[in-house]
Amino acid sequence: MDAVRWTSWVLLAVLILLGINGLWVLAVRRWYRLRTSEPERLKVRCQDGWELTVHVRRAAHRRFEEPVLLCHGLAANRYTFDFEPPYSLAHALSEAGFDCFSVEWRGIGHSRPPPPGLRWPDVTVDDFVSQDGPALIELALAQTGARRALWVGHSLGALVGYVVAQGPAGEKLAGLLALGAPVFFPPDPLIRRLIRVGNRASWPRGFRNEWLSRSLAPFLGYVTLPLSDVIINPKHIPPPTQRKVYANMMASMSRNVLRQFQDWIDHDAFRSFDGSVDWRAGLAKLSLPVMVMGGSVDRLASPKNLRAQFELVGSSDKKIHVFGCERGDKMNYGHGDLLFGTGAPIEVHPEIRDWLAAHATPLSQGEALATQASRGPISLP
């Protein structure tokens, strides 16, 4: 009887702690919510039936034909690019005259619910490539009347873009900007250990990263999380911004996506889930304009990594840009600093904007007015 009573007390204590933590997470989400206007929210159905949510910021005065596709990386969501100004590339580009489409990959954020017959733990990077990427392109082209789009991806979002550009949908891209993309995976013991821990924690379905990050968000800026320098340099990101990033931007990872990343890291490969297609070798087939960008102290996509992928890209119109003090920048940029570092709005955003503008088709005033008038009430509540 004592054992039963003791077990009951333990279960009750666990339930109380979970309830308190749940209330804490809800309070964190509300306190650190982003103070900016909500983007337009659209839905697009992939060929396999999974419905994606795409968040759209239209240009107040559209200057360019091509829409910009903003694609987030691993363990992130659309807030990667659609954050509070000044740390929002979506705001910056829409002010420059681009219509911006920020995707959330299947299983992430508003794109989480799977259709009947599909499961979130089974999602792989291959699904982002074969299903989500083409659907995103088609939605953006249909919404803007453009013939091609411009792809901007951070980390995994750039890797997906590299592979999409190798397939049939590549003809519908006018350019690809890869920001902090680790095409090579050298044997960094720390990163390998992190992925293996994530794989163990993800059994049997996936790693629910949001809950942990929101629980810890209020303490950032007062304490530094272990290993945080792999993703961001806390010294370069203001504490209030750190807290909002962790409260809003972090997202879950499916079991199979983590397994795929472990395969890439263990074998220094960039390939399909079953290993049959070498996506890294496919970079030589690219012919669209490519910009390779990254940070001088990025541990995931180091300058050596960036230069190696730049050499592999077969495009005649290609360029590389490494942000850091050596070239006169405000700071030596890491992985997340490219997005949320104090220098990002004044050093990174303008370089991205100028490259996109140089590879976009300017609209005449008449064309801009016509496209503005053709927009109908298509947003979803």
In a domain, 138, yes or no: yes
Distances (CA, A) of 221 to 216, 224, 246, 289, 356: 11, 7, 11, 39, 34
**Are residues 19 and 83 part of one domain?**
no
Q: Which residues have C-beta within 8 Å of that of residue 89, sequence separation ≥ 6?
A: 70, 81, 82, 100, 152, 339, 349, 352
Q: Does residue 26 share a domain with residue 49?
A: no
Clarify whether residues 140 and 241 are in a common domain. Answer: yes
Specify the pLDDT at position 371: 59
Give domain status of residue 249, yes or no. Answer: yes
* Within a domain: 379: no
CB contact set of 303 (below 8 Å; sequence gap of 6+): 294, 296, 322, 324
Q: List average pLDDT for each run of 10 residues in the chain, which is 381 residues long.
A: 71 80 86 94 98 97 98 96 97 98 96 94 97 98 98 98 98 98 83 70 72 87 70 84 93 91 93 98 98 95 96 98 95 94 97 98 72 47 30
For the domain that residue 291 is a member of, what is the CATH number?
A: 3.40.50.1820
Q: Do the beta carbons of residue 320 and residue 304 sit within 8 Å? A: no
Tell me, yes or no, whether 212 lies in a domain.
Answer: yes
pLDDT at 228: 65
Question: 6 and 127: one domain?
Answer: no
- Whether 103 and 192 map to the same domain: the answer is yes
CA dist 65 → 29, 173, 193, 255, 357 (Å): 37, 12, 45, 38, 10
Look at residue 142 and tell me if it is in a domain: yes
With tokens 């949908």, the residue in question is 169
Same domain, 128 and 22: no
Position 368 scores a pLDDT of 59
CA atoms within 13 A on the CB side of 182: 23
Residue 89: exposure state from Cβ atoms within 10 A (0-12, 13-18, ≥19): buried
Judged by DSSP in three states, 12 sits in helix
Claim to verify: residue 113 and residue 154 sit in the same structural domain? yes
Question: Which pTM value belongs to this model?
Answer: 0.92
> Which residue, 264, 340, 287, 329, is CA-closest to 86?
340
Q: Are 6 and 47 in the same domain?
A: no
For residue 143, give Cα distances in angstroms to 57, 58, 81, 99. Answer: 12, 10, 20, 10
Please spell the DSSP secondary structure of 58-83, one letter per residue.
Answer: --SS--BSS-EEEE--TTB-GGGTS-
Instruction: Please state at what angle helix 255-267 crosses helix 189-201, rounded to 10 degrees.
Output: 160
Same domain, yes or no: 86 and 233:
yes
In whole angstroms, what is the distance from residue 64 CA to residue 221 CA?
40
Tokens linked to 80: 């990667």
pLDDT for the residue 380: 34
Helix (H) or strand (E) holding 263: helix 255-267
For residue 298, is it within any domain? yes
The two three-digit tokens of residue 324, written as one number: 């850091």
Compute CA distances 232 → 58, 226, 287, 295, whole Å.
29, 11, 32, 11
pLDDT given for residue 118 in this prediction? 95
Q: How far is residue 126's CA from residue 273's CA, in Å, rounded to a whole number?
A: 7
Domain extent, residue 143, equals: 40-374
Domain shared by 220 and 264, yes or no = yes
Kind of pairing between the strands at 253-254 and 51-57 = unpaired
Both 140 and 238 in one domain: the answer is: yes
* Distance between first and last Cα of the chain: 54
| 381 domain-assigned | no
Backbone angles phi, psi at 151, to 5 degrees: -105, 125
Pairing of strands 100-104, 68-71: parallel
Residue 316's pLDDT is 98
Q: Please give the tally of structural domains in the chain.
A: 2
In a domain, 192, yes or no: yes
Give the side-chain half-sphere CA count within 13 A for 318.
20
Angle between helix axes 156-164 and 133-144 (nearest 10 degrees) is 80
DSSP state of 28: H
Which residues have CB under 8 Å from 163's CB, separation 6+?
129, 133, 279, 282
Is 2 found in the same domain as 62?
no
